[in-house]
Structure 1
Amino acid sequence: METAVNDATRTVFSRLAGWFAKSWESSAEADMIASLDDSTIRNIANDCGITPDQLIELAKVGPHAADEMLAMMRALNIDPTEVELRLRNEFRDMQITCSHCASKGECRKDLARGAAAENFGHYCGNAEHLNALRANPDLLIA
């Protein structure tokens, strides 16, 4: 019984540690962007094809805010690398949409239980794009 309690404690602790690490990483990214002068922020945003406000917002949500998009693409048999190479602007726009999504919990649950392909159309802000991508054989995982 004691082992089960210790395992549960370790699991909760590791999840909390991961959450804190992710929060700190996001905060560090946002602080780094905030420390730049306006001209540099404009230049970086321009290089990325986004507005300065979008750059700041993306820095606030952190570098892993669109990880679900990559997982969803794989669940739908779409090759994220091919999409990024061939459709860079669309890929970026989809990342922005995903990073601001309010349905991440539902998305993660569906991805974890293998039900994403059946359900994503009900909540995913990128559903239309994803359906178009999976209709293109050149973008599918071989």
Structure 2
Amino acid sequence: MLVNDSARTVFARLVDWFAKGWESSAEADMIASLDDFTIQSIAHDCGISPDQLIELAKAGPHAADEMIGMMKALNVDPAEIELRLRAQFRDMQITCAHCTHKGECRKDLASGAAAENFAHYCGNANELNVLRANPDFLLG
């Protein structure tokens, strides 16, 4: 019985992984199928370049999830930053989406070591340190 449960868990994880990949691929294909004017308009509305829009679509909808986790690990309120510093929040998301240290980041977030290690690899380290030094941006 234990083998069946393990097999189902592995199978469920594989299905989830494929579904996420398909979702990201479908979104990237949808963006790529738009005409240049529409891509430029959407990018302009988002405050990013058309190339950034396409890159972010390829990265997928969860490409910057670690940033929210890192903010919380540093006692920074992500909702407050998004509300009050929208452009900075967006720029930090873009940096996070392009990060090559996601494995290390996820490991540190899971183990509770993110606050002591993030400065060694996080592309948003300087911004995060400034934010966590401001009492107005800290979690309740």
Assess same fold via TM > 0.5: yes
Deviation sequence 1:86-114 (CA, Å, 0-9, x none): 11111001000000110000111111111
Gaps of at least 5 residues in structure 1 are none
Return 5+ residue gaps in structure 2 as ranges.
none
| Residue correspondences, number | 140
1:90 match:
88
Structure 1 length as normaliser, TM-score? 0.95
Aligned-partner Cα distance in 2 for 1:18–1:66: 18
Q: 1:100 is matched with which residue?
A: 98
* In 2: Cα distance, 1:6 partner to 1:122 partner: 42
Aligned counterparts of 1:100 and 1:124: Cα–Cα separation in 2: 11
Distance in 2, matches of 1:112 and 1:7, equals: 24
Match of 1:6 among 4, 7, 29: 4
- Whole-Å Cα distance in 2 between the matches of residues 13 and 23 of structure 1? 15
* Pairing 1:48-67 to 2, within 5 Å after superposition: 48-67=46-65
Q: TM-score, normalised by structure 2?
A: 0.96
2:14 is aligned, of 13, 16, 32, to 16
Cα distance in 2, alignment partners of residues 123 and 11 from structure 1? 32
Q: 1:71 aligns with which of 32, 45, 69?
A: 69
Aligned-residue identity in percent: 76
- Deviation string, structure 1 residues 25-73 (Cα, Å, up to 9, x no partner): 1011101101111001001001111000000000001111000000111
Residue in 2 that maps onto 1:131:
129
3-state secondary structure, aligned to 1:107: helix
